[in-house]
Amino acid sequence: MRLFRPDMHVMAGVYALDGIDDDAERSRFEHHLRRCQQCADEVRGMSATATRLAFAATQQPPAQMRERVLAAAARTRQLPPAVEHGRSAGEARQRRAGRSVRQSRPVPRLAWGVVAASLVVIVVLTTVLLRIQGELNRVNAHQAAITRVLEAPDARAVTERTSLGGTATVVYSHARHALILTSAHLPPPPRGKVYELWLLGPPQVRAAGLLPTTARGHTTPVLVNGVVHGDQIGMTVEPAGGTSRPTTKPILVLPLRA
Amino acid sequence: MDAHGTRPAGASPDLPEGRDRDLDGLLSRVARGDEDAFAILYDQLAGPVYGLIRRVVRDPAQSEEVAQEVLLEVWRTAARFDPARGSAATWAMTIAHRRAVDRVRSAAAAAEREKRTTMLLPPADDVADAVEANLERERVRRCLNGLTELQRESITLAYYGGYSYREVAGLLGITLGTIKTRIRDGLIRLRDCMGVT
C-alpha cells in the first residue's frame, strides 16, 4: 500500500463530484485510489454525500417517461454479472474500483445509437407511408369525383375531333357542375408547349387545367369543376406551364348542352 | 463514486429512513430480470435522477433524454452493481451525474450551456415535488448553509452545475489548489452534517 500522498488525497472531493474533466488526470487519481484505502473510503463517503445532494434535487419527471423506460427495459437484454477470469476477486475488485460505470458505457451508447437509428428509419418510413397514403387519398378522391360525374343522372358524353387530329371525349354533368375530358390519338404538343383547357362561358373564360402528357396516345381523365350552364369546353396550345387567358386559336370547342 | 473494500457493518446509510436497504434489495431483484421490481425502482429513482440531470443539463427535453438513458442503463447493468462498493442509490446517481456531465461537456452542448445563467437556482417548476423530497431538500439546505460561502459555491457549481474543478476555479477566480481543498473540506463537512459514513 502506497504511503498517504496529500497532493493526491486532496483530489478526492473533486473526483467524487465528477469534477475532473482531464482523462489522464482522472486515471492518475484512480491509480492512486487502488493503492490508498483511506482515499477510497473517503471517496465512498463523499459519493454518498453527493447522492444526498441528488435526492435533494428531486423533480417529478414527465409522466410519459415511465412507460417509455419500462417498455424499453422490457425489450432490452441485461448484461450478465461481471465474471473475473484468472484473477483473484480482490484484484478484480481493485481493477473495477473507480470508473466501472464509465467502462460499461460504450455499449449503452451503441444501444441508444441503434434505438436512434431505428427511430430515424421509423420516421422516414412513416413519412413515406403517409406520402403514399396521401397520394392514394388524392387518387381515390379524384376517382370518386370522376365516378360522381359518370354516375350523375344528367351525365352526357360528347366526342369531337380536334383541329390537330385525334379526338377528345367529354362527359359532363350540370347537376355536378363538372366534366371529365380524355383524349385519344392527339399529337404530342410542340416542344415547350402544352394543351390547356378552358371553360368558355358567356360570363367569362376560365382556365380549366392542362391536359396531362399522353401515354400511348391517350390522356388520363382530367376533372374540371365549376361548370355552369352555357359553358363550352375549349382547348388551346399554350406555352409550357399554361397561361391565364387563351393566346391561340382553339383546336377544340365543345358546347355542353343541357 | 465507489470505493473498494466492504461497506463497514452498521455504517450510516447513504439515505435516511432505510431507503438504501430497499433500493439495494430492489436492484438485486432487477439484476435477475424482475420487471416489477424495476417498476418500483423506477418510482424511487426517477425523481432524483431526473431532478439531478435537470440541474446540470437545464433543458427539459435533453434532461428527459439523458434520464431515460440512465434509467435504462440501471436496468441493463444491474447485475454489475456490487453492494460491497456502495449503495444502489449512489451507484445510480453516479451514473446519472456522469451522463449529465457528458451531455453538457460535449462540444455540441457548449453553446447551449452558455445560456444557463441561473444555474444556482433550482428550476421554477419543481414546486409540486413530493413531501419527502422537500424534507430531504430541507436537510441538505441546512447542511449546505453550514459551509463557508466558498465551499458551498464550489460544491454547488461542481455538482449541480456540472462544471469541472478547473471551470469552477475560473468562475470563482481562485487557484486550482484552493478549489480542490475547498471542495474536499466542504464535502467532509456536508458528510458529517448529513450523518453519512
Mean confidence (pLDDT) of chain B: 82
- Each residue of B84-112: pLDDT tens digit? 788 999 999 999 999 999 988 774 455 55
Rounded distance between C-alpha atoms, residue B183 and residue A2, angstroms:
24
Domain A156-255 architecture? Sandwich (2.60)
This prediction has a pTM of: 0.57
* pLDDT per position as a tens digit, A84-123: 554 444 444 444 444 444 444 455 556 777 777 777 777 7
Cell numbers at residue A26, please? 482522472
Could you read off the pLDDT of A148-203 as tens digits, one per residue?
Answer: 888 888 888 888 889 988 888 898 999 888 999 988 888 888 888 889 999 998 87
Residues 6+ apart with CB under 8 A from A59: B47, B50, B51, B54, B123, B125, B126, B129
Contact A13 B33 (CB under 8 A): no
Per-position DSSP letters for B156-193, written without gaps between them: HHHHTS---HHHHHHHHT--HHHHHHHHHHHHHHHHHH
User: In the predicted model, what is the mean pLDDT of residues B137-153?
Assistant: 92
Contact B49, A84 (CB under 8 A): no
Q: What is the pLDDT of residue B75?
A: 96
| Number of residues assigned to chain A | 258
Q: Which residue has the higher pLDDT, B126 or B74?
A: B74
Regarding predicted confidence, which is higher, B141 or A85? B141
Per-residue pLDDT, averaged over B20-30, amounts to 89
Which of A61-77 are b and which e, b meaning 16 or more Cβ less than 10 Å from the residue's Cβ?
A: beeebeeebbebbeebe
Strand pairing class (A156-161; A167-173): antiparallel
Q: Give helix B149-159 / helix B165-172 axis angle, nearest 10°.
A: 140
**Residue of chain B minimizing CA distance to A113:** B69
Per-window interface: B 120-179 vs A, CB < 8 A: 122-123, 125-126, 128-130, 133, 136-137, 139-141, 155, 158-160, 162-168, 177, 179
pLDDT: which is higher, B54 or B14: B54
Q: Report ipTM (2 d.p.).
A: 0.84
Contact B150, B180 (CB under 8 A): no
* Distance of residue B149 Cα from the nearest chain A Cα, in angstroms: 17
More confident residue, A138 or A191: A191
Q: Which of A24, A29, A56, A23 is nearest to A42 (CA)?
A: A29
- Predicted confidence at residue B118, as pLDDT, reads 42
- Domains by residue range for chain B, with CATH: 1-114 (1.10.1740.10), 117-197 (1.10.10.10)
Q: Is B191 on the interface with A (CB under 8 A)?
A: yes
**What sign for the dihedral angle of Cα A10, B178, A28, B13?**
positive
| Set of chain A residues whose Cβ sits within 8 Å of the Cβ of B169 | none
In the predicted model, is pLDDT for residue B192 greater than 90?
A: yes
Cα–Cα distance for residue pair B175/B197, rounded to 1 Å: 30
